Amino acid sequence: MPRTEQMMKQGLTLVDAINEALYQEMERDSRVVCLGEDVGLNGGVFRVTEGLQKVFGPERVIDTPLSESGIMGTAIGLAMAGMRPVPEIQFEGFMGPAFDQLVNHAARYRNRSRGSVTVPMTVRVPWGGGIHAPELHSDSPEAIYAHTPGLKVVIPSTPYDAKGLLLSAIRDPDPVVFFEPKRVYRSHREQIPEDEYTIPLGKAKVVAEGTDLTVVTWGACVHTCNEAMDHFPEDASVELIDLRTIAPLDIEAIVQSVEKTGRCVIVHEAPKTAGFGAEVATVIQERCFLHLRAPVQRVTGFDVMMPYYKLEQQYLPDAKRVEEAVLQCLAY
Amino acid sequence: MPIRTAYEGKVEFLQILDENGVLDESLAKGTLSDDDVVELYTYMVKCRAVDETAFKLQRAKRMGTYPQNKGQEAAAIGSGFAARRGVDWLVPCYRENAALWMHGQPMHYVFMYWMGDERGSQIPEGVCTLPLCVPIGTQMLHATGMAWAFKMRKEPRVCITYFGDGATSEGDFHEAMNFASAFQVPCVFFCQNNQWAISVPREQQMNSATVAQKALAYDMPTTQVDGNDLFAVYKATRDAVERARSGGGPAFIEAVTYRLADHTTADDARRYRDAQEVDAWMGKDPLIRLRKYLTAKGLWDDAKQAAADEVAKQTASEVVRSAEGITPPVATDMFDYTFESITPELETQRATMRTHSLGQRPQQAGLAAH
């Protein structure tokens, strides 16, 4: 939606940035439609689609039945028939019913038909913990989808990236799962260009340059790591990498950094075992073995169910845990 | 307060050509011309021959698992004939080969698919059929989404989606029916009730008296037809398709038919169903009744049948020749359709698939010297 005075003065939140991207892309491309539970009149439970229905009408910003598989499956049909659907699954914990459609159909149609039919759609999903939400509103299932051939998995951490990555995702010829870290939906404001711009999928961002150790992370944990950066010893030069897209993974960015630093700490919210950090660690082992000066470390959620909110802060990696891992790795 | 009726529904059953080949002339009016019937019967003979050939190929280990279409030809052909080729989209399950063929999907592609070759699901330019769909009951959502796009763009196109009686137990079936109804999209739901979902009979699959009545819950026009009756299938589908095309929304058709063969070539139906039941349905074979009808009307004779059988045999041989004659797939093909543009990691895997540990070039890991 057009910018408010507050946005012009103080910048945009991540929610504002996604809303602006949707608004601009729907204006530019009549094939783009948003559909999901409560995305229309109500503007989405997080207000990400606020105001869009008023501008583009109920036929392009569609309140669907409460039906995740229905949303995903019909979005696939819309995409195959030449539209550019942007379905929303209200919370990542509700992707279960839509899993079959996403994994067995959206991801596979191009290959199944040897390119005859394709599914250019962007599935928007509020993702991750830290907002005092009920059960199944706080999970981090990104590794499952990164493990699915045919899907791209994007996780922005800032308003600037969110806008540029979402525009790329919608214009991408293949299905993209776009996880939105709800913990930072409104926690930061940033001045970002009003004109449209894109950020290529599959490209990591070096948030801070350093020479002694690389921290690799994504999503809301980028902010946790940034916070930890303030506590490192002054002579420690730490490089912080925000992957932004985990599938396809920007392997070269990781390799380039770890070859330089020889040390790496991986930080993510999802459980440890078979989490996406394991893939990052393996890539480092495969590609940077002779450069390593310490074992790769992981700071992650635990291999437990995401606790309800009274304990969620104990589960989520915090700056203190990141700091300890970095200090241990540096001292190795 | 008196109790009032909140909702009342009924399901009609339509049969035009009975199993003895006797036609109800008044119901048949305005449906198929004599020429149509001769053409479609010839098509059915061809489809049956091709289907039997696929079965033999599997037994000779020249094809993988194959689900026979035998006995369901009238359902596929009658409905396929009601849709406009190259305009309307068919969204199949895997027992509608005849409909796909009629709409331009080459039959040797279908063979290639069951021979384990993805190229069999390619769709030639201008052909409007989706690939066969293995996960049961999931494709109706795609048909609903496509039909929704046609409605959004005001295109006079319709989708017909096919599925079996078992598929109507799946959640996706109900989600598709609800979406199609809520948004009034031009989609025809065509259920081939062939009485068996592998080994589970329809009566055990559901406690509903008919499959068609499930559409009443979605306020969708619904009808049950004799699925082995070409006239009834055609009429019901044509009415549903044209109503959908003119903005009348979705519709449901239950074609009551029978799976004369096993579920697939990997199945042995003798384990779970009576020979008597199968024999009884053999008598209702859609080909037999149509031949009786054509013969009685003087449109068909033994010589014509012999000629049609010969053409069918030739056609089946050509299908086999084309499917088996295709150049083997190139191994690197498996990488090339994951995304529109190959990713760097996939490119490495493709380049090293036969030479090195996956994803590693020796020099990358510093191993080149060893």
Are B231 and B255 in contact by the 8 Å Cβ rule? The answer is no
Assess whether A151 and A250 both reside in one domain.
no
- CATH (domain of A238): 3.40.50.920
The total of other beta-carbon atoms located within 10 Å of residue A319's CB is: 16
A110 touches chain B (CB under 8 A): yes
Helix (H, G, I), strand (E, B) or coil at B136: coil
Which candidate, A203, A246, A248, A210, places its Cα nearest to that of A226? A210
Residue A199 lies in a domain: no
CA–CA separation, A223 vs A295, rounded Å?
A: 24
Assess whether A164 and A88 both reside in one domain.
yes
A111 touches chain B (CB under 8 A): yes
Contact A113 B150 (CB under 8 A): no
Residues in chain A within 8 Å Cβ distance of B359: 286
Domain spans of chain B, in order of start: 12-325, 330-370
30-89 in chain B: CB under 8 A from chain A = 89
Q: Nearest C-alpha of chain B: how many angstroms from A284? A: 10
Helix (H, G, I), strand (E, B) or coil at A241: strand
Residue A196 lies in a domain: no
Tell me which of A26, A74, A251 to substitute to probe the interface with B (most B C-beta atoms closer than 10 Å): A74
Which candidate, A253, A130, A100, A149, places its Cα nearest to that of B141? A100
Q: How many CB pairs (< 8 A) connect A and B?
A: 143
Assess whether A213 and A118 both reside in one domain.
no
Residue A118 lies in a domain: yes
Assess whether A307 and A213 both reside in one domain.
yes
247-266 in chain A: CB under 8 A from chain B = 248-249, 251-252
Task: Using CA coordinates, name the residue in chain B closest to A202.
Answer: B343
* Boundary of a domain, candidates A184, A214, A247: A184
* Token pair for A163: 């806008």
CA–CA separation, B292 vs A332, rounded Å?
A: 88
Residues in chain B within 8 Å Cβ distance of A249: 345
* Token pair for B21: 């080949």
The alpha carbon torsion through A122, B170, B284, B267 (nearest 10 deg) reads 90
The total of other beta-carbon atoms located within 10 Å of residue A41's CB is: 11
The total of other beta-carbon atoms located within 10 Å of residue B19's CB is: 17
Using CA of residue B188, residue B193, residue B194, residue B199, what is the dihedral sign? positive
Helix (H), strand (E) at residue B312: helix B302-325
Which residues have C-beta within 8 Å of that of residue A194, sequence separation ≥ 6? Answer: A3, A20
What was the ipTM of the complex prediction?
0.96
Assess whether A225 and A292 both reside in one domain.
yes
Contact B143 A118 (CB under 8 A): no
Active site residue B263: yes
Which residues have C-beta within 8 Å of that of residue B125, sequence separation ≥ 6? Answer: none
A4 touches chain B (CB under 8 A): no
Task: Using CA coordinates, name the residue in chain B closest to A201.
Answer: B343
A101 touches chain B (CB under 8 A): yes
CA–CA separation, B57 vs B46, rounded Å?
A: 16
Tell me which of B146, B153, B161, B342 to substitute to probe the interface with A (most A C-beta atoms closer than 10 Å): B146
- Per CATH, which fold does B12-325 belong to? Rossmann fold (3.40.50)
- HEC states along A11-32? CECHHHHHHHHHHHHHHHCCCE
Residues in chain B within 8 Å Cβ distance of A73: 138, 140-142, 144-145, 172, 175-176
- The pLDDT value recorded for residue A23 is 98
202-231 in chain A: CB under 8 A from chain B = 202
Assess whether A72 and A159 both reside in one domain.
yes
Residue A192 lies in a domain: no
Residues in chain A within 8 Å Cβ distance of B138: 73, 100-101, 104-105
Contact B175 A82 (CB under 8 A): no
Range(s) of the domain holding residue A114: 5-184
Are B258 and B194 in contact by the 8 Å Cβ rule? The answer is yes
Name the residues of A annotated as catalytic: 137
DSSP B150-219: HHHTT----EEEEEETGGGGSHHHHHHHHHHHHTT-SEEEEEEE-SEETTEEHHHH-S-S-SGGGGGGGT
Whether omega before A248 lies within 30 degrees of 0, making that bond cis, reads yes
Assess whether A209 and A327 both reside in one domain.
yes
CA–CA separation, A73 vs B145, rounded Å?
A: 7
Residues in chain A within 8 Å Cβ distance of B144: 73-74, 77
* Token pair for B135: 């996960």
Which candidate, A194, A2, A172, places its Cα nearest to that of A86? A172
Residues in chain A within 8 Å Cβ distance of B175: 65, 67, 69-70, 73
Are A165 and A112 in contact by the 8 Å Cβ rule? The answer is no
Residue A87 lies in a domain: yes
Assess whether A308 and A166 both reside in one domain.
no
Helix (H, G, I), strand (E, B) or coil at A177: strand
How many angstroms separate the Cα of B87 from the Cα of each of A75, B128, B155?
21, 7, 10
- The shortest CB-CB distance from A78 to any of B148, B337, B343 is to B148
114-153 in chain B: CB under 8 A from chain A = 118-119, 121-123, 130-131, 135, 138, 140-150, 152-153
Residue A269 lies in a domain: yes
Task: Using CA coordinates, name the residue in chain B closest to A108.
Answer: B338
Assess whether A213 and A308 both reside in one domain.
yes
A96 touches chain B (CB under 8 A): no
Helix (H, G, I), strand (E, B) or coil at A125: strand
Assess whether A117 and A230 both reside in one domain.
no
Are B222 and B251 in contact by the 8 Å Cβ rule? The answer is yes
Low-confidence ranges of chain A (pLDDT < 50): none
Assess whether A226 and A164 both reside in one domain.
no
157-176 in chain A: CB under 8 A from chain B = 173-174
Contact B147 A59 (CB under 8 A): no
The alpha carbon torsion through A11, A12, A17, A22 (nearest 10 deg) reads -90
308-367 in chain B: CB under 8 A from chain A = 333, 337-340, 343-346, 359-360, 364-366
* Token pair for B326: 């295709």
- CATH (domain of A162): 3.40.50.970
Determine what percent of chain A falls in helix, strand and coil, rounding each to the nearest 5: 40, 20, 40
Task: Using CA coordinates, name the residue in chain B closest to A62.
Answer: B183
Name the DSSP letter for residue A67.
Answer: -
Helix (H), strand (E) at residue A169: helix A159-171
Assess whether A43 and A149 both reside in one domain.
yes
Helix (H), strand (E) at residue A213: strand A213-217
Residue A22 lies in a domain: yes
Contact A174 B340 (CB under 8 A): yes
Name the DSSP letter for residue A102.
Answer: I
Residues in chain B within 8 Å Cβ distance of A105: 135, 138, 142
Identify the active-site residue in B103, B238, B263, B291: B263
Q: What is the pLDDT along chain B (370 residues), one digit of tens a residue?
A: 899 999 999 999 999 999 999 999 999 999 999 999 999 999 999 999 999 999 999 999 999 999 999 999 999 999 999 999 999 999 999 999 999 999 999 999 999 999 999 999 999 999 999 999 999 999 999 999 999 999 999 999 999 999 999 999 999 999 999 999 999 999 999 999 999 999 999 999 999 999 999 999 999 999 999 999 999 999 999 999 999 999 999 999 999 999 999 999 999 999 999 999 999 999 999 999 999 999 999 999 999 999 999 999 999 999 999 999 999 999 999 999 999 999 999 998 888 887 766 555 555 545 554 4
Task: Using CA coordinates, name the residue in chain A closest to B185.
Answer: A74
Which residues have C-beta within 8 Å of that of residue A247, sequence separation ≥ 6? Answer: A145, A146, A151, A152, A153
- The shortest CB-CB distance from B178 to any of A67, A100, A150 is to A67
Are B145 and A77 in contact by the 8 Å Cβ rule? The answer is yes
- The pLDDT value recorded for residue B133 is 96
* Boundary of a domain, candidates A151, A184, A217: A184
A282 touches chain B (CB under 8 A): no
- The pLDDT value recorded for residue B355 is 72
| Overall domain count for chain A | 2
21-80 in chain A: CB under 8 A from chain B = 33, 59, 64-65, 67, 69-70, 72-80
